[in-house]
A and B are shown apart, each in its own frame.
Chain A
Amino acid sequence: MKANSPILPPHPERTGPARPTKRSGPVPAWGLKLGGFLTTFGIFVGSFGYATTHLYATNAPLQPATVASVATTAATGTATATARPSTATTTTTTLTSAVQTTPRPAVTVTKKS
């Protein structure tokens, strides 16, 4: 057959099993990039909103020292107040010389008007 012949030779028959055709999704590369960016940015914005509304996580795995000491102090104070409220009140009250104590028993019932 001449090299410049207009009639091309027929394609040889393929042997063996046919290659399975796999259909891939239609999203172009720029769509994936845009999706990746929007996902990351969306998670950033959403997490920022969540962090703003949930500022103090008492069960967070990491507690820096300053936060831990404040939390311990607060927890101790709460426990003391719950267990011994009358003692806590007594220790914080300071009597000056102008205030006189009375031998009368304490008023335990208050009449409502």
Chain B
Amino acid sequence: MDLFFWEIARASGLAAYAALCISVLSGIAPRTQALSFLASNRAVRALHDWSPWIVIPAALVHIVALLLDATARIGILDVFVPFLTSYGQLAIGLGTISLDLLVVVLVTTWLRRRFSNNAWQWWHRVSYLGFGTMFLHSMLSGTDLTSPVIAALSWAAGIGIAYYALERLGKALNPARIRA
């Protein structure tokens, strides 16, 4: 049974990574036109608003499977507090941090009306950090990333999002260029 949970944990980890890529990319896309070849900004925005429905289940399955896998030796505390595991402290701890940041982003989004728009935007920018830590977590601990094909796809997704994130940052820092 341990092996079944181990397989589920590996598969759901990659699925969570893909779901988070979709979520982050659809969040950046309306300003960068990254997905304009595919759909209108309104449709991309709708995808971004809906994306927690794929991110949360994938992340939950990943965590629950690791909790049930006795070999992985991940405890409840390890899920929320980083760097407590008996092995792979950095690799697993980065995953814990990314989960904590994901929770922060989701909760602040659901409480968006209670924040000013500026404050909410700053909270939402935490998702870039969350994606970065999840990327490092997957690279440092991903068993399936030993496969060249899976590693290439994961790197391509990460580099693509980093490119559009930098483009988005450039436009945010230089708004006069957009108006010109």
Residues of A within 8 A of B (CB): 22, 24-29, 31-33, 36-37, 39-41, 43-45, 47-48, 50-52, 54-55, 57, 59-67
For the complex, give the distance between the alpha carbons of A37 and B23 in Å.
11
Among A41, A63, A66, the residue within 8 A (CB) of B15 is A41
A54-B72 in contact (CB<8A): no
What are 24 inter-chain pairs, A to B, with CB distance below 8 A?
Answer: A24-B37, A24-B39, A28-B39, A29-B43, A31-B39, A36-B50, A43-B11, A44-B12, A44-B15, A44-B58, A45-B11, A47-B15, A47-B144, A47-B150, A48-B11, A50-B144, A57-B144, A57-B146, A61-B146, A62-B141, A64-B72, A65-B86, A65-B87, A66-B71
Is B3 at the interface (CB under 8 A from chain A)?
A: yes
Residues of B within 8 A of A51 (CB): 6-7, 10-11, 143-144
Q: Which residues of B contact A (CB under 8 A)?
A: 3, 6-8, 10-15, 18-19, 22, 26, 33, 35-44, 46-47, 50-51, 53-54, 58, 71-73, 86-88, 91-92, 140-147, 150
User: Could you say which of A25, A36, A45, A60 contacts B143, with CB atoms under 8 Å apart?
Assistant: A60
**CB contacts between A and B, total, < 8 Å:** 122
Residue numbers in A under 8 Å from B86 (CB-CB): 65
Q: Which of B15, B41, B88 contacts A43 (CB 8 A)?
A: B15
Contact of B7 among A33, A52, A59, A64 (CB under 8 A): A52
A59 to B144, CA, bound (A): 10
Output the least CB separation between A66 and chain B (Å).
6
Q: List A contacts of B46 (CB < 8 A).
A: 29, 32-33
* A56 to B: closest C-beta gap in Å: 9
B92 touches A62 (CB 8 A): yes
Q: Is the CB of B73 within 8 A of A64?
A: yes
Knowing A43-B15, A62-B87, A65-B87, the reply to whether A50 touches B147 (Cβ < 8 A) is yes
**Cross-chain contact A25 with B37 (CB below 8 angstroms):** yes
The answer to whether B71 and A32 touch across the interface, beta carbons within 8 angstroms, is no
The one of A27, A47, A62 that contacts B43, using a Cβ cutoff of 8 Å: A27
Find A29's partner among B39, B53, B87 (CB 8 Å cutoff): B39
Q: Is the CB of B39 within 8 A of A62?
A: no
